[in-house]
Amino acid sequence: MHDLAGAVWRTSSRSNDQGLCVEVADNLVDVIGVVAVRDSKDPAGPTLAVSPPGWTAFVDAIRAGQFDR
């Protein structure tokens, strides 16, 4: 488990007002080597800790439309 006490959470500027958003803390890469992700509706709930290359691959896949229906 990672200590996320220093996480600075942000929501995408493309998020909508329907509460279907995730928050990302990418300020932890140099501290503990992870990008943290959580559900914006449940900030006290579970988080995912992703490696920086894994996060980059995920974002690149989104931009490429690989998850579009």
Structural domain harbouring 44? 10-63
Check residue 14 and give its pLDDT.
72
* Domain contains 54: yes
Q: What's the pLDDT tens digit per position in 27-45?
A: 999 889 999 999 988 989 9
* Domain contains 55: yes
* Domain contains 59: yes
The number of distinct structural domains making up the chain is 1
Check residue 15 and give its pLDDT.
74
* Domain contains 45: yes
CA distances from 26 to 16, 22, 31, 59, 65 (A): 21, 13, 10, 13, 22
Q: What is the mean pLDDT of residues 50-66?
A: 94
